[in-house]
């Protein structure tokens, strides 16, 4: 009988699954710490309006320096600047490339505008659980745009659509994982809500999950549903135009983060939004004009402590 106890005990124990170790994820801040971040974002926008199809493709590549300048209890303030930046855009009217052939006037103007943004410092505040509380002093990004050059003024207005406060905030939120207040283990799920970061009344309801823990790093997934919060709100999609929107979609972000200090090492984001924008009558638009839209975006980030 005693000989049977050992194998029976082994079989019994193997029938149970023991939970993994619980971990308290949060960002560890230290004044003076500096990080380098790289980003590559590809956006594909398809529009159907008045029986015409239009496709806009854009690729933004950037390098950023992030420095911890102030600790404020449960959060920290950072100074951030672009150290490298390039933009390519392809439309039915032609192509522009800030690093392209400067004999092309459009390339020359965009390249000049992009260079004026490099090295201009602005700020953001991040909490220990990964909430981007604010983006401040973004006007410094445009401080070198002076004079009365109509072409540069128009270029600035176009760039502000991609580098405005909402867009920058969303970009940072895609990098910095949002952590729950409690300890978690593999399989845990938690929620958050964030802005879609566009000049549209959109929000993202995120379901986060801890996929794996492998020593120094962990993998966290965010699966977010994008929806319009107010389909009657009038927005300005570009200077001189007024519109309302009714869009929905999905955003998925996969992040590799430090298990010990919470900071991400890399992240990949994919989003897709579909629906309708109605251009409202006024100016050159004689009557309300419905426009079908589809926007897809792929973004990759890396973050390295220096």
Is 15 a domain residue? no
Using one digit for the tens of pLDDT, what is the confidence trace for 98-155?
998 889 988 998 899 999 999 999 999 999 999 999 999 999 999 888 866 777 777 8
Q: Is residue 98 part of a domain?
A: yes
Q: What is the mean pLDDT of residues 9-22?
A: 51
**In-domain check, residue 163:** yes
For 172, counting Cβ atoms within 10 Å of its Cβ (0-12 exposed, 13-18 middle, 19+ buried), the class is buried
Q: What is the per-residue pLDDT for 197?
A: 64
Does any domain span residue 13?
Answer: no
Pick the closest to residue 130 from 167, 180, 195 (CA basis): 180
Its sign, for the CA torsion 224, 227, 229, 234, is: positive
In angstroms, what is the C-alpha Rg of the chain?
A: 23
Task: Identify the CATH number of the domain in which residue 192 sits.
Answer: 2.30.230.10
Q: Which candidate, 224, 215, 164, 217, places its Cα nearest to that of 194?
A: 224
Alpha helices in the chain (DSSP H): 2-14, 105-117, 150-163, 165-175
pLDDT recorded at residue 176: 95
Does residue 22 sit within a domain?
no
Q: Which domain holds residue 175?
A: 30-305
In a domain, 23, yes or no: no
Is 268 inside a domain boundary? yes
**Terminal alpha carbon distance of the chain:** 64
* Whole-number percent of the chain with pLDDT over 90: 68
How many folded domains does the chain comprise?
1
- Domain assignment present for residue 1? The answer is no
- Say what percent of the chain tops pLDDT 70: 92
For residues 56-62, give the mean pLDDT. 95
Q: How many CA atoms lie within 13 A of 267 on its CB side?
A: 29
- Of 109 and 270, the one with more pLDDT: 270
Mean pLDDT of 277-294: 92
């Amino acid at each position: 009988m005693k000989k049977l106890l050992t194998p029976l005990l082994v079989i019994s124990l193997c029938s149970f699954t023991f939970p993994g170790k619980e971990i308290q994820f949060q960002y560890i801040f230290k004044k003076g710490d500096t990080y380098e971040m790289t980003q590559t974002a590809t956006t594909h926008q398809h529009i159907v309006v008045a029986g015409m199809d239009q496709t806009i493709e854009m690729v933004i590549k950037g390098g950023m320096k992030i420095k911890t300048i102030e600790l404020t209890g449960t959060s920290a303030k950072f100074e951030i600047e672009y150290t490298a930046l390039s933009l390519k855009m392809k439309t039915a009217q032609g192509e522009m490339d800030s690093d392209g052939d400067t004999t092309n006037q459009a390339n020359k103007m965009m390249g000049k505008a992009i260079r004026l943004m490099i090295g201009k410092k602005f700020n953001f505040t991040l909490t220990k659980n990964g909430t981007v509380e604010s983006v401040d002093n973004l006007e410094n990004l445009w401080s070198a745009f002076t004079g009365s050059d109509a072409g540069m003024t128009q270029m600035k207005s176009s760039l502000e659509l991609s580098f405005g406060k909402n867009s920058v905030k969303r970009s940072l939120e895609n990098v910095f994982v949002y952590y729950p207040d409690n300890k978690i283990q593999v399989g845990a799920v938690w929620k958050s809500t964030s802005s879609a970061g566009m000049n549209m009344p959109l929000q993202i309801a995120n379901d986060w999950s801890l996929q794996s823990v492998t020593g120094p790093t962990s993998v966290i997934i965010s699966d977010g549903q994008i929806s319009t919060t107010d389909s009657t709100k009038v927005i300005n999609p570009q200077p001189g135009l007024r519109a309302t929107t009714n869009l929905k979609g999905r955003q998925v972000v996969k992040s590799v983060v430090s298990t010990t200090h919470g900071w991400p090492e890399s992240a990949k984001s994919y989003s897709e939004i579909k629906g309708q924008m109605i251009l409202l009558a006024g100016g050159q638009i004689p009557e309300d004009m419905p426009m079908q839209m589809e926007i897809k975006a792929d973004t990759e980030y890396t973050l390295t402590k220096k």
